[in-house]
Structure 1
């Protein structure tokens, strides 16, 4: 049976059902009960003081004379006003503090969750949308707590207290005033439902737009090199126009809420003055009572408007909560569960591996089996799209096989903890990824111990990175820029190799680290790779056969299957497509230097 979508009519009929998950989410952050108690107590005290003022005014009006107003009465009123202002200020600060703690707790949970989610999650979610959960959605919750929660608490107390006092003063007048409540609900309930749907759609569009921004700005060089500014501008404008339309809808709802409340409450004021004037003239009500009624009405009008704004913001927060909860509910990697992986002197074995990406019926790997001997070099060769990179991802345990198993010796690799398994692996990509920070930070990245400068220099030296690093004015403290843009491709590769050397991995995976470099950079990196590969089980994705002709074993992968295995010479004799590849590449140019331990 098809489940209704979050924006379907069935859910829109009952937006309040989302409040329970919201409160559960807030409670999970464990807000300070002491701070909440102090804030609520002070709010109650402030409101009680404000409720006393109309009663004092009533007595002044009913027995007005200059002789009745003395210094004690004036001092009492001044003290009451000062106490009200002080308690209101402290209460507001305490609630704001709690709100900030709640949002910080939410962001902490989200950040920890985002780092624990598997790679497959990010295959199905744009980075910008995920960032929007952390910033925009938590910001909506923050706005509710820090800006509207105080008004809701004090407003509720003020309304309840005012109504209670009014009933005691004259229950008939109070009933006349309360006739406006059903009329108010008649308009506010459908407007609240509309606001819930509009706010949810606005948050969706904001997340999508954040995704577009993140993608385009992170690849701005490609955009400019392709003269694609106009294309990307139009793509961004679609999101801007969609948010503009939803913003107008949200504005229309908000434009109706305020005036409707004011209109209904002004009608109440007219009724009270008219009916109250009649009762004063008949002697059933004193002039002071009527003045008190009017003052209490104003103490109801403003809080009612603030409470309406609270519920409007609450609808937005409910929508934001759905997305935050969805992210927090995602399955995460348990990096510590399992045995400690320590031995690497065992063969790495794949047994009939099959794998298809989520939502795809077409397998990327279809019955792959192999054995990689320890301390030897195994090369994966074949046409693009055959599944070589996916196989690397499975060795890193970013994905689990649909069927089959990968073992280290006789032990499935899933039996080892992710943390210890990945610490055994060093991975050098085609284009090494660098993080914003210094060269030293990037070489030491991911090392879970204190790293000394001598170790950094030694790793950089073995990676042939030390000469160019030491030419920089700031040396190892040189900032590399976002994704390493301040370094050349060859420099980034050598920093990446230095990082792998510092990790001292038992298993080395290379995604043809020299395929896109100039001859000088390639020479240095070939030498660095030789240092890195010594004594290690090495798996290489080879785009150029010249770099792996001396590998101990070559696996030829095409369309998710291994169609040939053996040494370079053996495959030349037994595999027609490999022989064709070799003739095209090895005869077209002189070998650039073979990769070997």
Structure 2
């Protein structure tokens, strides 16, 4: 890593720490205690040398003994408190960082998740913050106290005997010639391990979250080999890391032995010549070990820091993304307005438009149905209305006001959405129906919503009724049951704009009839937009929009479209035939 990159790495880490508003007072106290610990530790060898030089039972200095005991006590107490305070500061930093990252992940716009795997985001939240946590809570303490200890010990060594100190440090330039390139290689390998770990974690999340698809597709062998490739890559990088460590370990050990030999040899000469005392030579050895241990901590810190560089950059890259501002914008003042899409064009890719110059007016208190072949952009319309995406051209208005000027929180609170895949999360049925609503929901309101969604009867037959756990993605419920809970959720929100995307697609005919009646009651006085393939769902709609390849090719009520639109007529006839067959089966 060149100096400019090294400087940027430190800058990124400090930027990240600064954003968490660290406990500066505690940090300052801990540094002061670390300094006190170091000073006490530095005093012990000097006091030891004095005892050795003046040693005799008759001449034992009470003052020196008391000073040594006090130094040991101060070193132990101040050191322990300092480590605790630094750990507390570090834990505060990481907790704040994870809160910021969690808040950011929740408020990032939907397009971010279109281009990033869920496992990748999970890795940022867990693995990367874990790496940063290890650096701050485990290694930063040793790094700070190590620097203070080494600096203090070197000053005292020069004071004791500067020629011997210079001889001892003559080995350092030779060691650096080896350690610097090896350190750079270690940094490169560490970044590789970090990247591969994130990739491996993302793949695990992808596979395990869709384990039923894996098993039903007999894809266990394929996924095993993909996972095995990731494991092998991590294995090879781990071996390379082991080789580097195996080279560094004997070099460091050899350095220590050479330094000891130099001190014993040259130090012995200095004692013999009277340039220094035996006690000072003993102190010299103690200071040497006081330098070696902190240097080891400093080296470990820099090794861990190299691992942290990649994690820091990845976390920062997320924190610097533009998020949705849920509270920015005006509140909706009038609810008696039409929802208007005017010349709306949109594409997930700039050169591939999914919707092309779409014009729709969904009036208050009326039902607007949107039909058309698969892939014509029906669900994309709903995503635009929810402001998950912004149109490339045209505008979406509520009355005369563009919906982009409303605060997202206010606007989305007006919407009730039931999709065709009925998202259910792990938890109780009660939690799922009341999801997103703040405060205590009265039992009567929840039961009423469930009744209207034709869900209450099957819920009360479950072992724990509304407190029954549904499992991950609602796996313990049937498709129809999940759909009815999703409808109950929308009913409980009492939305001003109701959006139904194949809302009854998973219901049997009997359930569909009841839910359709419930939905008719809910639709009264609301702006309702329905996407459906079943004719029974839309035949009574006030307005039907036929969407074909992203364009509106027809609009009107059922009779008008049946008479004027060939594709709609074919769609209706096909539905009638399906209805007749279902009637015969029943």
TM-score between both structures, scaled by the size of structure 1: 0.93
Shift of 1:449: 4.0
Q: Is 2:37 the partner of 1:46?
A: yes
- Hey, what does 2:492 align to over in structure 1? 502
Shift of 1:556: 1.4
Q: 1:115-154 alignment to 2 at 5 Å?
A: 115-154=106-145
Q: 1:320-399 alignment to 2 at 5 Å?
A: 320-358=311-349, 360-399=350-389
Q: From the superposition, tell whether residues 234 and 519 of structure 1 become closer, same or farther in structure 2 (CA, over 3 Å).
A: farther
- Hey, what does 1:579 align to over in structure 2? 569
Shift of 1:458: 1.8
Alpha-carbon distance between aligned partners in 2 of 1:84 and 1:274, rounded to the nearest angstrom: 32
Report if the CA contact (8 A) 2:454-2:511 is conserved.
no
Alpha-carbon distance between aligned partners in 2 of 1:224 and 1:326, rounded to the nearest angstrom: 36
- Hey, what does 1:553 align to over in structure 2? 543
Alpha-carbon distance between aligned partners in 1 of 2:186 and 2:81, rounded to the nearest angstrom: 32
Report if the CA contact (8 A) 1:35-1:98 is conserved.
yes
How many correspondences in the alignment? 583
Q: Is 2:522 the partner of 1:515?
A: no
TM-score between both structures, scaled by the size of structure 2: 0.95
Q: Is 2:469 the partner of 1:473?
A: no
Q: 1:227-242 alignment to 2 at 5 Å?
A: 227-242=218-233
Q: From the superposition, tell whether residues 240 and 529 of structure 1 become closer, same or farther in structure 2 (CA, over 3 Å).
A: farther
Alpha-carbon distance between aligned partners in 1 of 2:579 and 2:453, rounded to the nearest angstrom: 26
Determine helix, strand or coil for the equivalent of 2:46: helix
Show CA shifts across 1:316-341 (max 9, x none): 12211100100001111111111111
Match of residue 556, structure 2, among 566, 569, 587: 566
- Hey, what does 2:417 align to over in structure 1? 427
Q: Is 2:96 the partner of 1:105?
A: yes
Unaligned runs of 5+ in 2: none
Q: 1:27-426 alignment to 2 at 5 Å?
A: 27-69=18-60, 73-358=64-349, 360-426=350-416
Alpha-carbon distance between aligned partners in 2 of 1:374 and 1:91, rounded to the nearest angstrom: 66
Match of residue 451, structure 1, among 426, 430, 441: 441
Shift of 1:75: 5.0
- Hey, what does 1:6 align to over in structure 2? none
Report if the CA contact (8 A) 2:363-2:527 is conserved.
yes
Shift of 1:443: 1.4
Determine helix, strand or coil for the equivalent of 1:590: helix
Determine helix, strand or coil for the equivalent of 2:579: coil
Alpha-carbon distance between aligned partners in 1 of 2:250 and 2:35, rounded to the nearest angstrom: 28
Q: Is 2:472 the partner of 1:482?
A: yes
Shift of 1:216: 1.6
Determine helix, strand or coil for the equivalent of 2:329: coil
Determine helix, strand or coil for the equivalent of 1:285: coil
Shift of 1:479: 1.6
Alpha-carbon distance between aligned partners in 2 of 1:311 and 1:420, rounded to the nearest angstrom: 49
Determine helix, strand or coil for the equivalent of 2:359: strand
Unaligned runs of 5+ in 1: 1-8
Report if the CA contact (8 A) 1:346-1:373 is conserved.
yes
Structure 1 window deviating more from structure 2 (151-160 vs 240-249): it is 240-249
Alpha-carbon distance between aligned partners in 2 of 1:537 and 1:253, rounded to the nearest angstrom: 67
Alpha-carbon distance between aligned partners in 2 of 1:499 and 1:255, rounded to the nearest angstrom: 60
Alpha-carbon distance between aligned partners in 1 of 2:279 and 2:379, rounded to the nearest angstrom: 84
Shift of 1:522: 3.1
Report if the CA contact (8 A) 2:370-2:530 is conserved.
yes
Alpha-carbon distance between aligned partners in 1 of 2:147 and 2:253, rounded to the nearest angstrom: 18
Report if the CA contact (8 A) 1:49-1:80 is conserved.
yes
